[in-house]
Amino acid sequence: MITAERKPLDEIMSYIEPYHRILLVGCNECVTVCAAGGRKEVAMLSSALQLASMKNGKTLSVNELTLERQCDPEYVDTLAPQIEGAEAIVSMACGCGVQELARRYGQVRVFPAVNTKFMGASERAGVWAERCQGCGDCLLGLTGGICPIARCSKRLFNGPCGGSNNGKCEVSSEMDCAWALIWEKMKELGTTDQYEAVISAKDWRSGRGGGPRKIIREDLQ
């Protein structure tokens, strides 16, 4: 999923300072799963904004809504009747959702209420960790299902570096060394003989090196 974390209240307050009526829009997909911008977080932020405004002597009216998917025009269109009367939109979706609202409702300012973090997985309750950087040319088949691009601090294709310490990264004892994990996995799978084959320099055109990317599926158009 795409993970996100809510921005500090003060920052969100600074965006909406000039306005009295806002539309606060959540998303029922990834940000709901990572508890950053779903229905529940929309309700909580709405109360917090109204309370903080009241303390500043201002009455803030918040129209709360959570879309099925904020990155999908079909759902974003359904907001149209709510836009009128809103001086600003605050989105609790990832950056994709914020941009979709801004594209569709260009006449109103749209502000983000979360910081989009990374593509990751849930490790345990309340902990999400980065797993994928969307490089566009997956090499997980070579590395035992553990991505060194997303999970090695130096994104080494031929690690580990000299700072691998007891399975942890030199950057922090809280981080696993991706290459220590890969090596353990190779042992488990009996594929350690493949370790010595050099993984050659990556062609970053499949990633952001080629500019903003698009997927076009003619069979679906």
- What is the strand order of the sheet 61-67 is part of? 61-67, 21-27, 88-91, 109-112
**Does 132 help bind another protein (rule: CB under 8 A)?**
no
Q: Which is nearer to another protein, 198 or 220 (CB)?
A: 198
Stretch that binds another protein, among 33-41, 104-112, 127-135, 162-170 (CB under 8 A): 162-170
The verdict on 110 binding another protein (CB under 8 A) reads no
Which residue from 103, 134, 192, 210 is in contact with another protein, where contact means CB under 8 A? 192
User: Measured from the CB of residue 180, what is the shortest distance to another protein in angstroms?
Assistant: 6
Q: Does 139 bind another protein (CB under 8 A)?
A: no
Residue 197 touching another protein (CB under 8 A)? yes
164 scored as a contact of another protein (CB under 8 A): yes
Q: How far is it, in rounded angstroms, from Cα 120 to Cα 132?
A: 6
Stretch that binds another protein, among 51-59, 68-76, 79-87, 151-159 (CB under 8 A): 151-159
Q: Does 160 bind another protein (CB under 8 A)?
A: yes
Supply angle C-alpha 167, 170, 175, rounded to 5: 60
Q: Using the rule CB under 8 A, is 135 a contact of another protein?
A: no
Using CA atoms, how far residue 49 sits from 58, 115, 128, 217, in Å, is 11, 17, 27, 42
DSSP string, 122-149: EEETTEEEEEE---SS--TTTTTT--HH
Q: Are strands 21-27 and 88-91 parallel, antiparallel or unpaired?
A: parallel
Cα–Cα distance measured from residue 178 to residue 156, given in angstroms and rounded to the nearest whole number: 9
The count of C-alpha atoms lying within 13 angstroms of the C-alpha of 125, restricted to the half-sphere facing its C-beta, is 0
Only segment of 13-21, 29-37, 50-58, 153-161 that touches another protein (CB under 8 A) = 153-161
Binding of another protein by 183 (CB under 8 A):
yes
Query: Out of 125, 127, 201, 220, which residue is the one contacting another protein (CB under 8 A)?
Result: 201
Outline where the chain has alpha helix (H): 9-16, 30-33, 39-55, 73-77, 80-83, 95-104, 148-151, 178-189
Report the nearest approach of another protein to the CB of residue 127 (Å). Answer: 21
In residues, how long is the chain?
221
Instruction: For the CB of residue 196, give the shortest distance to another protein in the complex, in Å.
Output: 5
Residues within the interface to another protein (CB under 8 A): 153-167, 170-171, 177, 180, 183-184, 192, 195-201, 204
